[in-house]
């Protein structure tokens, strides 16, 4: 049996107990991290991206910085998944997914530009 994987830590984290820059509310590149985590704490995570995606993320992140961009994207993704779970639970509790007739009835009650 093999030993469980142990997360790797940077030397600075091991020595100080916090990631570089966290004490000042800034990331390692000096950008403000205020508001990126409700508890005011951050955990360093290493993510490997394809080069083209990494370049696009850096370009889109701009002044916000890559860390904040990724935090915002992950929070949106988690919200979307939570909504999917909620919809699935509601559909199951109500007897299954909506029928085409039920969807048509709902569309007729709340018309929008796409249904006209």
Q: What is the pLDDT of residues 4-49, one digit of tens each?
A: 444 443 443 333 444 444 445 555 555 555 555 556 678 889 999 9
One domain, residues 7 and 60:
no
> How many whole angstroms separate alpha carbon 44 and alpha carbon 10?
9
> How many whole angstroms separate alpha carbon 69 and alpha carbon 12?
24
Query: How far apart are the two ends of the chain, measured CA to CA in Å?
Result: 64
Domains in the chain, number: 2
One domain, residues 39 and 56:
no
Q: Is the pTM of this model over 0.75?
A: no
Q: Which two tokens stand for residue 111?
A: 């018309």
Q: Which two tokens stand for residue 22?
A: 């966290």
One domain, residues 23 and 65:
no
Which domain range does residue 29 map to?
A: 1-46
One domain, residues 93 and 55:
yes
> How many whole angstroms separate alpha carbon 67 and alpha carbon 21?
13
One domain, residues 70 and 105:
yes
One domain, residues 54 and 80:
yes
Please, which pLDDT band fits residue 90 given cuts at 50, 70 and 90?
Answer: confident
């Amino acid at each position: 049996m093999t030993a469980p994987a142990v997360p790797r830590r940077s030397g600075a984290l091991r020595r100080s107990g916090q990631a570089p820059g966290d004490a000042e509310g800034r990331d390692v590149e000096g950008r403000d991290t205020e508001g990126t985590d409700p508890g005011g704490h951050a955990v360093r995570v290493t993510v490997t991206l394809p080069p083209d995606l990494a370049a696009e993320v850096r370009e889109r992140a701009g002044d916000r910085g890559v860390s904040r961009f990724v935090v915002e994207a992950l929070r949106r993704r988690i919200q979307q998944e939570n909504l999917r779970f909620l919809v699935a639970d509601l559909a199951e509790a109500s007897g299954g997914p909506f029928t085409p007739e039920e969807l048509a009835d709902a569309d007729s009650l709340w018309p929008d530009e796409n249904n006209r």
